[in-house]
Structure 1
Amino acid sequence: MYMLTCKHSKFTLPPRITYLNCSYLSPMLKSVEKVGVRSLRLKRNPAGIAAQDFFKDSETLRAAYAKLIHVKDPKRIVIIPSVSYGMANVAANMKLSKGQHVLVAAEQFPSNYYAWQRACSEAGAEVKAISPPATLQGRGKIWNERILEGIDKNTRAVAIAHTHWADGTKFDLEAIRKRTKEVNALLIVDGTQSVGAMPFDVQKIQPDALVCAGYKWLLGPYGIGLAYYGEYFNDGKPIEENWINRLNSEDFTGLINYQSEYQPGALRYEVGEHSSFIHVPMMLKAVEQLGKWGVENVQAYCAFITKEAVYKLRERDFWIEEENYRGHHLLGIRLPQHMDLQKVKDDLAKNRIYVSFRGNAIRVAPNVYNDEKDLKKLVKVLGR
């Protein structure tokens, strides 16, 4: 591991703003923007788009992303338009029964909830939401313990994020995976708020599915995501049928010879028109850049630039989860009791500091384009 330096020059952020909000939308790398403009112009002259172009960049993207999350077979990676699409494929193939439940963390992102709500309603099952403790003391530890205790013989799946979208609480996926295996339940992970900034090893965690939007920590454009589907989904039924996911679709002259078989691996679950000649090259460029930096180095850099700020905020009675139960890229900051949340919002906006407010937490999400000065500015404003 080596220490990254600030990569602000790789982006086109205005100089007078302090953007600490990657969990909302990431800014775009200059290199990704350049690829996007070039790709947009390809449609000016479609004579330059060959049949192999429908497959080439997609295959390269799968391979690059597989390497990023430690997947041996790139055909386990599929291109999706959104988390809800990726989760819909899981829900359609989960085989729920009456009396079973899908366990989720309370107040997790809706795209990792509504699919289970519908599936459970149709099957006579239920969604079992595990709430955090009312106390802030040991909050992340107790929440993780409650989740493990909630997994039993009636658990069909645990559908959870690696880090909670509202406040960055980190869930112990390896421990959860161990427990799900004991009761023969699936582990479905929404990696949108972690993958790209926090290391994720599919070989270690062994999720049955990992679904990620591309426009946050993966630094890609809006409208594309990536999903991993494990062996459980080998023979499943995709939520849509399209030509490009069928066997031998590379042979355009033979497309009228309809195929009953799909492409190998998990490719049956890819969205139609996944070749997307704009989104795919942009997403590829972003993933390749993350591969060069190293996700573990991104996480270490975020830890470095936030360390002093966390210490100083705690000194002033702000609450931030202990390090073992949060990521360094996504901080949920809770205010001292005497502090007016609306006044905090107004002061941050006045000083052009961009964060998010989720529930009663200030969600602060720095990335490699930030530095220690950005966090010092945040501390200064909050400390007033």
Structure 2
Amino acid sequence: MKNLQKEFPVLSQNTYLNTASSGLLYDSLLDYRQEHDLDFLIGGSMFRDHQEQFLNTVRKSIADFCGGTSENTVLTPNFSIGFNTILNGLEKNKKILLLDEDYPSINFSVKSKEFEVCYAEVNASLEENISEAIAQYSPDIFAFSLVQYINGITIDLDFLKNLKIKHPNLLIIADGTQFCGTKVFNFEQSGVDILGCSGYKWLLGGYGNGFLLFKEGVLKQLTPNSYLKTSLNSSYDPSYTNIRSRFECGHLDTFNFGSLQHSIQFLSKIGLSEIEEKIKELSTYAKHNFTDLGVLDKVAKQRNDNSAIFNIKGDQKLHNTLKEKNIITSLRGNGIRISLHFYNNKEDIDKLVGILHRYR
């Protein structure tokens, strides 16, 4: 896997610990993009004659990668647009459980649409807090990020499966943007009803692409009756009026979704289980070093699950120092966010730790 680093030009000049902000463009994806636009250049409208057939292959690639079905896979420019479309199809009397300080694309979107909202606290007892909140508030929907973007806290997938068994009428909506591409995951076997994801982070798909996976029947349940009634009585082509078109209205960009498909195939060729193992190895190594230094977020220290994201003690000054040393991170919450992917190595962590030692 070490030779794969040569695919990523950014790594030749930087220690890149910032995939949680943006995944990297790589050589073979650039080649694909150039070929795509060359085909468009010389083909014009003829290039798009087979657009729908191509997009069907993209849906299948996503479904196969995530353990879903292509029939219940929807393409969307990003998670936020897809999630807001879901919310627009819900009755306003629904009560939605959120996690405090979760990603604004979730929490702000729900609050701004004036749903009744309740919260569970994100701390070392996250799963217990969720169970208690459900018992106390009886929400209709639970919407959350599988991995918290500030500190990398990850919800236990077995907990979600048991939660769905215990509360079969609870609609569980998960944002996998900081998750998909880091671990092997089977959507159909999970407790999640809807999985959404933007493709520009761990999936390395670049910007302007994402997807939603639905369990069987859920997509129809979230489509307003007015839409269903109008589509049934319409003489328009079904591609404009079917349930999927509510999310996929307008032209979809084959450049962006082709990039996502190319990256999914790229990751699949490496092997998602191998990527998971590499990230686990790096995360364990990083957590050990951060704990020894006393810089790790206290909640992360108390959790056994190591995601690809950590939040360490640090301020703007330290962030600037790291940037001067070509170590790329993000300021998030009360500290500095570190995020690791398969193209990182222990030497990257050692370089960071060496500066942290001197900075203390």
CA distance 1:118–1:173, change in 2 (3 Å): farther
Question: Within 1, Cα distance between the matches of 2:261 and 2:191?
Answer: 24
Q: CA deviation at 1:49?
A: 2.6
The amino acid across from 1:313 in the alignment is F
Per-residue CA deviation, residues 274-317 of structure 1 (Å, 9 max, x unaligned), is 2x131122111001111222223212102223433322221121
- Out of 6, 13, 27, the residue aligned to residue 24 of structure 2 is 27
Q: CA deviation at 1:270?
A: 2.1
- Which protein is richer in helix relative to its size? 2
Does structure 2 retain, via aligned residues, the 8 Å contact 1:92–1:237? no
The amino acid across from 1:84 in the alignment is S
Q: In structure 2, what is the equivalent of residue 252 of structure 1? A: none
Residue 128, structure 1, aligned to residue 105, structure 2: no
Secondary structure of 1:212's counterpart equals strand
- Out of 349, 360, 363, the residue aligned to residue 337 of structure 2 is 363
Per-residue CA deviation, residues 344-364 of structure 1 (Å, 9 max, x unaligned), is 223212211001111113211
- Out of 120, 131, 149, the residue aligned to residue 148 of structure 1 is 131
Q: In structure 2, what is the equivalent of residue 114 of structure 1? A: 108
Per-residue CA deviation, residues 246-270 of structure 1 (Å, 9 max, x unaligned), is 89xxxxxxxx952468787746532
Alignment of 1:1-384 (within 5 A): 4-5=1-2, 7-47=4-44, 49-50=46-47, 52-71=49-68, 73-97=69-93, 100-119=94-113, 121=114, 125-132=115-122, 139-140=123-124, 142-152=125-135, 154-183=138-167, 184-230=169-215, 231-234=217-220, 236-237=222-223, 258-259=236-237, 266=244, 268-274=246-252, 276-320=253-297, 321-322=300-301, 325-333=304-312, 335=313, 341-384=315-358
Q: In structure 2, what is the equivalent of residue 135 of structure 1? A: none
CA distance 1:174–1:308, change in 2 (3 Å): closer
Q: CA deviation at 1:202?
A: 0.7
Does structure 2 retain, via aligned residues, the 8 Å contact 1:75–1:266? no
Does structure 1 retain, via aligned residues, the 8 Å contact 2:40–2:47? no
The amino acid across from 1:108 in the alignment is D
Question: Within 1, Cα distance between the matches of 2:263 and 2:221?
Answer: 31
Question: For structure 2, which runs of at least 5 residues remain unmatched after alignment?
Answer: none
Question: Within 2, Cα distance between the matches of 1:171 and 1:55?
Answer: 36
Secondary structure of 1:155's counterpart equals coil
Q: In structure 2, what is the equivalent of residue 136 of structure 1? A: none
The amino acid across from 1:300 in the alignment is E
Q: CA deviation at 1:207?
A: 1.6
RMSD: 2.8
Question: Within 2, Cα distance between the matches of 1:187 and 1:360?
Answer: 29
Per-residue CA deviation, residues 167-186 of structure 1 (Å, 9 max, x unaligned), is 10001243234335534210
Question: Within 1, Cα distance between the matches of 2:214 and 2:244?
Answer: 6
Secondary structure of 2:142's counterpart equals strand
Per-residue CA deviation, residues 104-158 of structure 1 (Å, 9 max, x unaligned), is 1111111112331134x1xxx42222223xxxxxx43x12211121113630111
Secondary structure of 1:144's counterpart equals helix
Does structure 1 retain, via aligned residues, the 8 Å contact 2:90–2:222? no
The amino acid across from 2:78 in the alignment is S
Does structure 2 retain, via aligned residues, the 8 Å contact 1:151–1:180? no
Question: Within 1, Cα distance between the matches of 2:48 and 2:40?
Answer: 14
The amino acid across from 2:73 in the alignment is I
Question: Within 2, Cα distance between the matches of 1:219 and 1:164?
Answer: 19
Question: Within 1, Cα distance between the matches of 2:48 and 2:276?
Answer: 40
Aligned length: 349
Secondary structure of 2:188's counterpart equals helix
CA distance 1:5–1:17, change in 2 (3 Å): closer
Does structure 1 retain, via aligned residues, the 8 Å contact 2:20–2:339? yes
The two structures have a TM-score, normalised by structure 2, of 0.87
Question: For structure 1, which runs of at least 5 residues remain unmatched after alignment?
Answer: 133-138, 248-255
